[in-house]
Amino acid sequence: MSNEFVSPFSIWMCTDNYANLLAKCFIKHHPVPLMRVIKWKDKSGNGMVLNVGGSSLDNPGIFGFRGLLRNMDGAWIHGFAENIGFSNILHAELLTIYHGLRMA
């Protein structure tokens, strides 16, 4: 067996088959969700909506937050954004809610 010859094509085929098997076992294929347009509409005609969110590069990591206030038609009234530096997700989300409520 030590003098057995294996062709490069056979090695390539075995390697390719093994790679395909690993891909099928470990790579998950997630279907792409359909895009939907979502719009907030106040039924009473005099409300506002506050949209807020925090973001990070990692948890813990460099964080920021942002938000905006919209009228009943969805038009932008006022917005804010801030970088808070090194923090965690809870701190970023709580600061976002605080600044949003203060603005409203």
Look at residue 91 and tell me if it is in a domain: yes
In a domain? residue 14: no
- Residue 5 in any domain: the answer is no
Q: Residue 1: helix, strand or coil by DSSP? A: coil
pLDDT, one tens digit per residue, over 51-65 is: 877 777 666 778 888
Tokens, residue 7: 């062709």
pTM of the model: 0.48
Q: Residue 42 domain-assigned?
A: no
Name the pLDDT band for 1 (thresholds 50, 70, 90): low
> What average pLDDT is seen over the chain?
77
Look at residue 8 and tell me if it is in a domain: no
Q: With cut-offs at 50, 70 and 90, classify the pLDDT of residue 43.
A: low
The residue among 86 and 57 whose pLDDT is bigger is 86
The total number of structural domains in the chain stands at: 1
CATH number of the domain that residue 77 is part of:
3.30.420.10
Mean pLDDT of 41-48: 68
Name every residue whose Cβ is closer than 8 Å to that of residue 83 and which is 6 or more positions away in sequence: 62, 63, 64
- In terms of DSSP bridges, do strands 76-87 and 49-56 run parallel, antiparallel, or are they unpaired? unpaired
60 belongs to a structural domain: yes
> What pLDDT is recorded for position 14?
81
* Residue 86 counted as domain residue: yes
Q: Which pLDDT does position 82 carry in this prediction?
A: 85
77's CB contacts (< 8 A; 6+ apart) are: 48, 68, 69, 70, 71
Nearest CA among 68, 98, 92, 62 for reference residue 80: 68
Label residue 85 by pLDDT band (50, 70, 90).
confident
- Determine the structural domain holding residue 73 and report its residue range: 49-103
Q: Is the pLDDT of residue 78 over 80?
A: yes
Q: Cα separations (Å) of 1 from 5, 15, 63?
A: 9, 20, 60
Q: Is residue 54 part of a domain?
A: yes
